[in-house]
C-alpha cells in the first residue's frame, strides 16, 4: 500500500511537471505563431489623434551689430569671471590655465604671475585645501566702443579653507576687453572690494 501511494504521487508530479512545461512552451512558441499567421487585413489600427497648435507669429527682434557685440562681450565676461574666480589648490589651479587663450599675449604674462602668486599664498595640491567657487550673476557694460569695452561682472563667491566654515560673499570683477581679429579678448582683470 505504501508503495502504491509513492507511485501515485510520483505519477501526479510527472503529470504536473509535463503540464507546466507544455504551458510554458505554448506561451513561448504557440502565441508567436498565432500572431505571425494572423491576416494583416483584419488588424484594425486606430489613428493617432491630430493635435494642432494655434499659429501666432511672434515678432523676431534682430539686434543691430553693436547690440550683438555687446551681448557677445557680456557672455564672454560672465564665462571668464566664473572660470577665473573658481579654482582650488588641490587641482593645482589647472582650471585657470585654460583661460590663457581668452587673453592677448600681454595679459597672459600678468596672468602667469598671478597664478604663481596664488601658489605661493595658498600652496600647491598637497597643502591644506583652499578653493573658491564663483557664479556670475550679471554683466554690466560701463564703457563701450567698436574695439574696447569695460564691464563690471557681479559675482557670488564661496571660499573654503581646510575645515573652516565656508565664507560666502558678493564681489564684482571689472574686466577690460579689447577686440583682436574681430574677437573679444580679456585685457584687464580687477577684483573689486568684497561685499557681505
Give tens-digit pLDDT for 81-132.
999 999 999 888 888 988 989 999 889 889 999 999 998 988 877 789 999 9
Residue 33: predicted pLDDT? 47
Residue 183 CB-half CA count within 13 A:
6
Residue 97: predicted pLDDT? 86
Q: How far apart are CA 185 and CA 101, in angstroms?
A: 8
Q: What is the torsional sign of CA 135, 141, 142, 147?
A: positive
Find the length of the chain.
Answer: 196
Residue 83: predicted pLDDT? 95
Domains with residue ranges and CATH for the chain:
65-195 (3.10.450.230)
Residue 40: predicted pLDDT? 44
List Cβ neighbours of 138 (8 Å cut-off, separation of 6 or more).
153, 154
Q: Per-residue confidence at 168, pLDDT binned at 50, 70, 90?
A: very high
Q: pTM score, two decimals?
A: 0.66
Chain-centroid distance, C-alpha 61: 28
Alpha helices in 100-146 (DSSP H): 105-122
Share of the chain above pLDDT 70, in %: 73
Q: What is the pLDDT of residues 6-40, one digit of tens each?
A: 777 766 767 666 667 666 666 666 555 444 444 44
Task: Kindly report which listed range (45-49, 55-59, 80-84, 192-196) carries the lowest average pLDDT score.
Answer: 45-49
Residue 137: predicted pLDDT? 96
Going by C-alpha positions, the residue among 166, 106, 109, 101 that lies closest to residue 133 is 166
Q: Is 154 helix (H, G, I), strand (E, B) or coil?
A: strand
Output 45 or 170, whichever has higher pLDDT. 170
- For the chain, the average pLDDT equals 81
Q: How far apart are CA 88 and CA 94, in angstroms?
A: 8
Output 124 or 148, whichever has higher pLDDT. 148
Residue 38: predicted pLDDT? 46
Amino acid at each position: 500500500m505504501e508503495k502504491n501511494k509513492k507511485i501515485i504521487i510520483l505519477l501526479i508530479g510527472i503529470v504536473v511537471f509535463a503540464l507546466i512545461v507544455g504551458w510554458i512552451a505554448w506561451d513561448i512558441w504557440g502565441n508567436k505563431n498565432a500572431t505571425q499567421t494572423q491576416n494583416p487585413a483584419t488588424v484594425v489600427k486606430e489613428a493617432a489623434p491630430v493635435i494642432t497648435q494655434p499659429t501666432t507669429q511672434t515678432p523676431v527682434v534682430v539686434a543691430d551689430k553693436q547690440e550683438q557685440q555687446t551681448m557677445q562681450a557680456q557672455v564672454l565676461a560672465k564665462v571668464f569671471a566664473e572660470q577665473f574666480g573658481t579654482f582650488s589648490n588641490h587641482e593645482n589651479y589647472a582650471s585657470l590655465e585654460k583661460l590663457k587663450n581668452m587673453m592677448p599675449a600681454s595679459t597672459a604674462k600678468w596672468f602667469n604671475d598671478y597664478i604663481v602668486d596664488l601658489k605661493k599664498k595658498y600652496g600647491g595640491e598637497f597643502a591644506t585645501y583652499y578653493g573658491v567657487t564663483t557664479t556670475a550673476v550679471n554683466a554690466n557694460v560701463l564703457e563701450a566702443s567698436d574695439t574696447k569695452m569695460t564691464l563690471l561682472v557681479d559675482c557670488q563667491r564661496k571660499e573654503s579653507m581646510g575645515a573652516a566654515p565656508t565664507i560666502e560673499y558678493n564681489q564684482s570683477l571689472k574686466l577690460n576687453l579689447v577686440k583682436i581679429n574681430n574677437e573679444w579678448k580679456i585685457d584687464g582683470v580687477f577684483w573689486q572690494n568684497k561685499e557681505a
